[in-house]
A and B are shown apart, each in its own frame.
Chain A
Amino acid sequence: MGYVPVKGGTQAIEASIKRLTYERLKGEEILEINTILATMGSMVDQVMSESSLYSPELAALAIKQGEGSMEEAVFLMRAHRSTLPRHYYSETVEAETMLVERRISASFKDIPGGQLLGATYDYTHRLLDFGLLEESMETNRKWLQDYKNNLSALQGSTEVVYFPKVVDYLRKEGLFKTYEPDNTFPNDVTKQSLQFPTTRSARLQVLTRGQTGTVTSFGYASLRGYGQVHPTVGEVRVGKIPIYTAHPNEVDPDPEDQFYVGEMRITEVESFVPVTVKNDNNEGELEFEIGYGVCYGQNETKAIAMSILDQCLEHPNADFPTHDEEFVLLHLDSVESTGFISHLKLPHYVTFQSKLDSIRQVKKGVQEVES
């Protein structure tokens, strides 16, 4: 049987796209971008993180256009990103500059500066709130006014507090290893494809832009025995960090002449992982290492899972899939994984016919032998 090239479907595709528009419009409701920004913060954060482009406005637009599909929204953001010029690289962002909104430790109750719960679902009952079915703006405004009145009555300090890292406190005590600043120029996986073995900078970049569900599942797999890392969370913090950049053409490198560009909200995690190392007498000794996780917005599960995977990949081990950097890093990306799975829907008529032909030939051969 010969192969027959075909074309067509243009009209059907146009009709399908019209149908898609119809499905979006038929409910006769318009979801405003501001409504998404104001009420769907976690979703916006997740889209920004997985697309590796920090812009709440564009993420909200992508969510609206993709009708709430995460993979579609991330794809739209990545596609748009590829059309934008990148004129600047930031100065190094240091974590200590974060204006903290939330900060907890599962390792110590008494951390310097204290534990700030901020806004979290962690202590809420997971019961559907049927009151939201009949939510009124008037009631909400009154609640907000009362809340703001209570806050304005607070006698706070006039100073703004920046919190030290829990790990710095432990390093000062000599309980954790101290590392000198390593200013090796980082790799950029958006400019150069991932090369194995990878560098630490490439690993962290791939992990932080990974699909939330996949990062979480791989981290979970490590805890369940498909890896050798089971950490205690040293610190989770959520807050805004400032971004600065130097003028591209000015020769004077005075830091005071840099541009402040704005800030971005991130989640950052340090996980403490016990490891056994040999001391000078070749005896096993317990030490702690740190797994690092960070992502755009507030997405604590992803950042904690990333910290587990960071530690896994620092200790390659072929016996465990979560310690295999090719396995982990090549399957985390939303656009790559959803794109590859979706491509299976595209016409494979020729390749499938080829497989059918092979089976027919085999069966025909078997029949001839049998007869």
Chain B
Amino acid sequence: MKRRRRTEILIQGDGRLAKDLAASIAEKYECREISAPEQGMIMVKMRETAKNSLFYIGEVLTTEAKAEISGEIGTGLLVGMDEQRASDLAIIDAAYKAQLPETAEWEPLLLDEEQQIHAAKAQQQAGLFETKVNFETMEV
């Protein structure tokens, strides 16, 4: 699974899966911490919808960590203050870059988590639709 999709799953999920996957690698392989989790910022570029041009809406606080496995450096980067998950994501990213055989076994776990995230979003949206306005045209 490519990085974009797996980071969506691992960040939108509650963190347990990321922790389990990282722990399974850390106990079997030598994981070297290249940089401990630290706070930083990402500047967010946005497209406005009046003239279709670009501008910077502002900065977002992030936590970032880096880890190395078998000479491959992985990056864990996410919005907010979550050092544990940044470290876990860095190990998982390094595991994919090092093409460790375990990563192939993670696919069904990630797909299952993705389904749960999707179902939770759909359920939340169903609640939101309770606030949808049904206009009635009045006779004048």
**Could you list which residues of chain A lie within 8 angstroms of chain B, going by C-beta atoms?**
49, 52-55, 57-58, 81, 84-95, 99-102, 109-110, 114-119, 151-152, 154-161, 165, 167, 179-186, 188, 190, 200-202, 204-205, 208-209, 242-245, 247, 254-264, 266, 268, 270, 289-292, 294, 296, 310
**Which residues of the other chain, B, contact A49 by a CB distance below 8 angstroms?**
58
**Which residues of the other chain, A, contact B121 by a CB distance below 8 angstroms?**
99, 160
Q: Are A201 and B43 touching (Cβ within 8 A)?
A: no
A6 to chain B, nearest CB (A): 41
**Which residues of the other chain, B, contact A99 by a CB distance below 8 angstroms?**
121
Q: Is the interface of A mostly helix, strand, loop or mixed?
A: mixed
Q: Are A84 and B4 touching (Cβ within 8 A)?
A: no
Report the Cα distance A209→B59, complex, angstroms: 11
**Which residues of the other chain, A, contact B50 by a CB distance below 8 angstroms?**
270, 289-292, 310
Chain A interface: which of B16-24, B25-33, B102-110, B125-133?
A: B125-133
Q: Are A158 and B45 touching (Cβ within 8 A)?
A: no
**Which residues of the other chain, A, contact B118 by a CB distance below 8 angstroms?**
160
- Which 6 interchain pairs have the tightest Cβ spacing? A156-B126, A262-B79, A55-B61, A290-B50, A256-B2, A52-B58
8 contacting pairs across A/B (C-beta < 8 A): A88-B40, A89-B43, A89-B45, A114-B132, A119-B131, A179-B51, A179-B52, A254-B2
With A93-B57, A116-B132 known, 5 other A-B pairs at CB within 8 A are A157-B125, A167-B49, A182-B54, A201-B56, A242-B8
**Which residues of the other chain, A, contact B40 by a CB distance below 8 angstroms?**
84-88
B59 to chain A, nearest CB (A): 5
Q: Are B119 and A158 touching (Cβ within 8 A)?
A: yes
Tell me, yes or no, whether B100 is within 8 Å of chain A by CB. Answer: no
**Which residues of the other chain, B, contact A181 by a CB distance below 8 angstroms?**
47, 52
**Which residues of the other chain, B, contact A256 by a CB distance below 8 angstroms?**
2-5
**Which residues of the other chain, B, contact A115 by a CB distance below 8 angstroms?**
132-133
**Which residue from chain B places its CB closest to the CB of A201 in the assembled complex?**
B55
Report the Cα distance A85→B39, complex, angstroms: 8
Please pick, from B3, B54, B119, B128, the residue contacting A183 in the complex, using a CB distance under 8 A: B54
Report the Cα distance A330→B16, complex, angstroms: 47
Tell me, yes or no, whether B60 is within 8 Å of chain A by CB. Answer: yes
Report the Cα distance A49→B60, complex, angstroms: 11
Q: Are A294 and B48 touching (Cβ within 8 A)?
A: yes
Within 8 A of A (CB), among B72-90: 75, 77-81
Report the Cα distance A310→B51, complex, angstroms: 11
Q: Are B132 and A92 touching (Cβ within 8 A)?
A: no
Q: Are B45 and A186 touching (Cβ within 8 A)?
A: yes
Report the Cα distance A165→B47, complex, angstroms: 13
B78 to chain A, nearest CB (A): 5
**Which residues of the other chain, B, contact A53 by a CB distance below 8 angstroms?**
41, 58-61
**Which residue from chain B places its CB closest to the CB of A159 in the assembled complex?**
B122
**Which residues of the other chain, B, contact A52 by a CB distance below 8 angstroms?**
58-59
Contact digits for B61-79, partner A, Cβ 8 Å, 1 yes 0 no: 1101000000000010111
